[in-house]
Amino acid sequence: MQIITAIKEMQEKIAQYKHNGMTIGFVPTMGFLHEGHLSLVQEAKQKADLVVMSIFVNPLQFGPNEDYDRYPRDIVRDEQLAKNAGVDILFYPEVTEMYKDTRYFHISVSGLVDVLCGSKRPGHFDGVVTVLIKLFNIVLPTYAFFGKKDAQQVAVVMKMVEEFNFPIKIIPVETVREEDGLAKSSRNVYLTSEEKQEATVLYKSLQLAKTLIEEGETNSRSIIEKMTRFIQNHSQGNIDYIEIYSFPNLKPLPNLQGHVLVALAVRFTNVRLIDNILLEI
């Protein structure tokens, strides 16, 4: 596995591989890798000739009161996990390499971000889109792989690629979970042992919603009310939101039909967790 930290070197390497007709599978991450990230690598290995992973904790997507400074980092561990998973190139730039002292252009996302996490984290997706535009132009991937756990991010990235005419195919990958259903996340390390048990309520409430829908319930408000009661009765977590939208357009669905996203966020003492399910009705 090659480790590259400079943008120019990364671009030169990619140019060589693309000149030889190779397809590039790209897995962008913020590091502290877990099985969810590695499942993206496995998907990339099946699709592409060369797998590139980036590790970059992007400061632009963190708000002033969020956890940028304490976001978990362990590059030595990540390098070994990436190598063992079969990553061909690990791109690991410093913040000063990705962002110069003065930025003359600022990306603003005006659609798809007034719901879910976007409504709770103003400017978050501006930062996500900014770094992805840069990474896509550096890596020039054929395919880019994203976990479905961040469903709003998937929707935003798909629209970004369409609107800016990137010649990239976005491939969403199923959420990887613990045996108890808890979605894998780098932020799970902030849960206490008791909270980690309680956090299974996120997935259980989503399964409750799935069961209700399969039994014929199509009223969003009714499903959300039942999910809310379930979470409140089975954990100390504070519900940030439970919302149901069409996917990938993220439009309200008073009565469920078509591609449906059921998503939620719950706050525990030191961490906010998200999860979702996608259904076809």
Task: Enumerate the active-site residues.
Answer: 37
* Site of tokens 């996340």: 185
Tell me: is residue 34 an annotated ligand-binding position. yes
Q: Is 185 labelled as part of a ligand binding site?
A: yes
The reply to whether 234 sits in an annotated binding site is no
- Cβ contact 160:133 at 8 Å: yes
33 is in an annotated binding site: yes
Structure tokens at 200: 């299974």
Identify each DSSP E strand in the chain by its residue range: 2-4, 24-29, 50-55, 89-91, 143-147, 169-173, 238-246, 259-267, 272-280
Residue 77 annotated as binding?
Answer: no
Is 186 flagged in the annotation as binding?
yes
Burial code of 108-142, b = ≥16 C-beta within 10 A, e = fewer?
ebeebbebbbbeebebbbbbbbbbbbbbbebbbbb
Q: Count CB atoms within 10 A of the CB of residue 84.
A: 11
| Cβ–Cβ under 8 Å, residues 143 and 23 | yes
The response to whether 205 counts as a known ligand-binding position is no
Residue 187 annotated as binding? yes
Q: Are strands 143-147 and 24-29 parallel, antiparallel or unpaired?
A: parallel
**Cα distances (Å, whole numbers) of residue 205 to 110, 119, 143, 208, 277:** 31, 22, 33, 5, 10
- Tell whether 148 is in a known binding site: yes
Instruction: Please say whether the beta carbons of 268 and 237 come within 8 A.
Output: yes
**73 annotated among ligand-binding-site residues:** no
| 31 labeled binding residue | yes
Yes or no: say if 183 and 177 are a contact pair by the CB < 8 Å rule: yes
Q: Is 124 annotated as a binding residue?
A: no
Q: Is 236 annotated as a binding residue?
A: no
Binding residues for (R)-pantoate, by number, are 61, 153
| Binding annotation | 30-37, 61, 147-150, 153, 176, 184-187
Binding site feature residues for ATP: 30-37, 147-150, 176, 184-187
Binding site members for beta-alanine = 61
